[in-house]
Copies of this chain bind each other. A is one copy, B any other.
Amino acid sequence: MPIDWDDIAHVTKVDPAEPLPEDSDVLDHTDLVIVGGSDGVTAENSSTAVEHIRDSVPGTPVFQEPYSASHVSGDTLDAVDYLSIPAVYNGDRENFVAKHVDFFTEVGSKPDDALGTGLPIVGDLIADRGRQAVTDVAEKLVGEGYVIQNLDSKAAAVSGVDTTYSAEEVAGAALATESFYGFPIFYLEYSGTYGGPRDVEAAAKYLDDTALLYGGGIRTRRQTREILDAGADAVVVGDCFHDDPDQFLQTIP
């Protein structure tokens, strides 16, 4: 399913390690769902979350955003529209090029090779399926150019982020995404705090073909509007989906 970002203004990030709300009908109001998290996530609970979402909103696109090898399986890969892989510009080398080369070295390794458990992502998948998995994975993969702007967040810790970007550097990372790396998504992550429109405006001026997502601290329709008006294609709303459906509904534009 190709994604038309003109139709998408509100994205829900679902953490498969958190309890899902009994009534997931609130997802009727969101345009796309991303399944992913950093603590306690497994391929099994990811798969369960994706099934639950598919049952609730069959027409809504679903991405999986894995943080490690163990989150992806043949089941999750079959179930989602895309596997979105963060490339964290302000993270350490391990979380940019090294991780990706390791990933694709693993994907490309012959299926009859011994696959060590220390290797990242899709080891088990390749073992299950053999060479076809290379094509399956490559076709579903989308890169996300990421900037993480909250140093106190779990996202910053797992990506080796120890410095935030100025608005000028955010603009530079956006332009690098659009003109050089060609990732289809540029993602500004404020992770739990509301960052306001400054970085969104800086990034938006250089993004034509790239979708601009903003995540972090959105709890009101006014904030959603402020971010969309600043040039984001969509806001990403996470926490309150799990614990406060009424609050969640207030973030719908």
Cα distance A87–B181 in the bound complex, in angstroms: 10
Q: Are A168 and B108 in contact (CB under 8 A)?
A: yes
Residue of B103, B172, B174, B206 touching A102 (CB-CB under 8 A) = B172
Name the residue on B nearest A172 (C-beta): B105
Write the nearest CB–CB distance from A187 to chain B, whole angstroms: 15
Q: Are A176 and B93 in contact (CB under 8 A)?
A: no
Name the residue on B nearest A143 (C-beta): B180
Cα distance A86–B198 in the bound complex, in angstroms: 31
Q: Are A171 and B108 in contact (CB under 8 A)?
A: yes
Interface: A8 (CB within 8 A) = no
Cα distance A181–B176 in the bound complex, in angstroms: 11
Interface: A85 (CB within 8 A) = yes
Q: Are A180 and B96 in contact (CB under 8 A)?
A: no
Q: Are A101 and B141 in contact (CB under 8 A)?
A: no
Secondary structure at chain A's binding surface: helix, strand, loop or mixed? helix
Q: Are B169 and A105 in contact (CB under 8 A)?
A: yes
Residues of B close to A31: CB separation below 8 A: none
Give the A interface residue count (CB, 8 A).
Answer: 36
Interface positions of A from 80 to 94, Cβ below 8 Å from B: 85, 87, 89, 92-93
Q: A104-B172, A172-B107 are in contact. Are A85 and B180 (CB under 8 A)?
A: yes
Q: List 28 A-B contacts (CB under 8 A).
A: A89-B97, A89-B101, A92-B93, A93-B93, A93-B97, A96-B96, A96-B97, A97-B97, A100-B180, A100-B181, A101-B176, A104-B173, A104-B179, A105-B168, A105-B173, A105-B175, A106-B172, A107-B172, A107-B175, A108-B171, A108-B175, A109-B171, A134-B175, A137-B179, A141-B179, A141-B180, A143-B181, A181-B181
